[in-house]
């Protein structure tokens, strides 16, 4: 969305942009950072906390309310109610684990596309695999990830 790294704030403009994407794509489930119980605790990147909070605000109540950003509705983007939000990087897990073995390599490639944030592709791949393996081992899975799920 072209917001400058390290400078993201929970502004009306950010919420408007998120609402526009929600109304455009009409997802049943939205995935975002956990803004309240992040991993790592206290040291989570501020952009991640801010985007997580703004995304939750965009999901409820803004994207479903025809009076919020009514210019979008006038332009043909109907209000949309997201059914669930899955918070990742959460220390307050409500779902024990999801098998991510099939999509793990794709996930790594997507993350590595964020080149300004990846000094070492090998280190990132190793650390993410170790974490997913550790979570998976606790659940009898090869690679897994945990989430906090909010029903809206």
Same structural domain for residues 49 and 82? yes
Same structural domain for residues 116 and 141? yes
Structural domain harbouring 136: 93-152
- Whether residue 2 lies inside any domain: the answer is no
- Whether residue 73 lies inside any domain: the answer is yes
Same structural domain for residues 31 and 77? yes
- Whether residue 1 lies inside any domain: the answer is no
pLDDT tens digits, 122-137: 999 999 999 999 999 9
CB of 66 closer than 8 Å to CB of 79:
yes
Same structural domain for residues 41 and 86? yes
- Whether residue 3 lies inside any domain: the answer is no
Strand residue runs (E) in the chain: 29-33, 84-88, 95-99, 144-151
* Number of domains within the chain: 2
Same structural domain for residues 101 and 75? no
Domain boundary among 91, 112, 131: 91
What is the structure's pLDDT at 44? 86
Same structural domain for residues 39 and 103? no
Same structural domain for residues 70 and 102? no
pLDDT tens digits, 90-133: 998 888 789 999 999 999 999 999 888 888 999 999 999 999 99
Query: Is 0.85 topped by the overall pTM?
Result: yes
């Amino acid at each position: 969305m072209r917001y400058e790294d390290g400078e993201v704030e929970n502004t009306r403009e950010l919420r408007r942009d998120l609402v526009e994407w929600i109304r455009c794509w009409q997802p049943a489930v939205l995935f975002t950072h956990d803004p309240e119980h992040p991993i790592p605790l206290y040291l989570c990147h501020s952009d991640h906390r801010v985007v997580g909070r703004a995304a939750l605000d965009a999901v409820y109540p803004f994207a479903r309310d025809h009076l919020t950003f009514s210019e979008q509705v006038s332009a043909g983007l109907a209000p949309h109610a997201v059914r669930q939000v899955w918070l990742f990087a959460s220390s307050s897990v409500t779902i024990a684990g999801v098998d991510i073995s099939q999509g793990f390599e794709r996930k790594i490639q997507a993350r590595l596309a964020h080149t300004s944030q990846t000094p070492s592709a090998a280190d990132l791949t190793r650390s993410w695999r170790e974490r997913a393996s550790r979570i998976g081992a606790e659940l009898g899975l090869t690679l897994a990830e945990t989430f906090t799920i909010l029903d809206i």
